[in-house]
Amino acid sequence: MQAIHKRLQPLTLLIAEDDESTLKWLSRVLSIYFKEVRVAKDAMQALELFVESPSDVIISDIEMPQVDGLHLLEKISLISPHTIRVVMTAYNTPEYINRAVEANVDFYLKKPIDIDEFLVAIASSASKDDALNEVVFLNEIYTYDYKQKLAKKGDESIKLTKKEVLLLELLLKNRKSVVSLEQIEHSVWQESASADAIRMVVVGIRKKLYQGVIENVKGLGYRIE
């Protein structure tokens, strides 16, 4: 468990659960492993907390008043595609499983959840993002340093704006995949943004780095090869 604790300690967790006793139990146990644990009693409160400050991991019950957990996790996937999304439910029906697949959840857990199973799943998933703490090559000349939030041309540092950093990292996390304008809007702006506003940030990155760093996939979005 020491290795799991080390892997999870830097991560923040948001729990959405309308059952007060379950919420308190999960919060108490998981606070041992995560850097920060926040709780919400319904999906709307969870979404407000997440928009205010995104979490690395979110675990949500499906059955909640007003908005269910799967709709919440779908929304979270648009705002922050790399947040690890976990759903828990007392119902293990084909309908729920199909909806969970459509909502792109990372893990589907049956209540009462096995804490050790949850911790191992999150620790294993988080390990896939370890490379994001390193320097990555954009091409033979240009690199990007995640820790310093700097692009470099050889030894020359290139300072990027906050939105340029957010967009570049979003595209790198989804490297070789097309990132839609809607995903960019939710992840970089976290509010409505025009296609022209997004295009201006892309243009700024291209000017500071090189023209072909970001590819425009007409009608779909942008990607980095």
pLDDT confidence bin for 65, thresholds 50/70/90 = confident
Tokens 């692009």, residue located:
151
Domain ranges across the chain: 2-128, 132-223
Q: Over the stretch 95-151, which tens digit does the pLDDT of each residue have?
A: 777 778 777 788 999 888 999 999 998 988 876 555 455 788 898 899 998 878 899
Provide the whole-model pTM: 0.61
Return the CATH superfamily for domain 2-128: Response regulator (3.40.50.2300)
CA 8-9-12 angle, to 5 degrees, is: 80
pLDDT confidence bin for 223, thresholds 50/70/90 = very high
Q: Over the stretch 175-203, which tens digit does the pLDDT of each residue have?
A: 888 989 988 988 888 778 899 999 999 99
pLDDT at 80: 79
Averaged pLDDT of the chain: 88
Query: Which fold would CATH assign to domain 132-223?
Result: Arc Repressor Mutant, subunit A (1.10.10)
C-alpha 21: how far from chain center:
27
Round to whole Å and give the CA distance between 193 and 167. 13
- Nearest CA-CA partner of 50 in 33, 22, 18, 73: 73
Mean pLDDT across the stretch 63-73?
A: 91
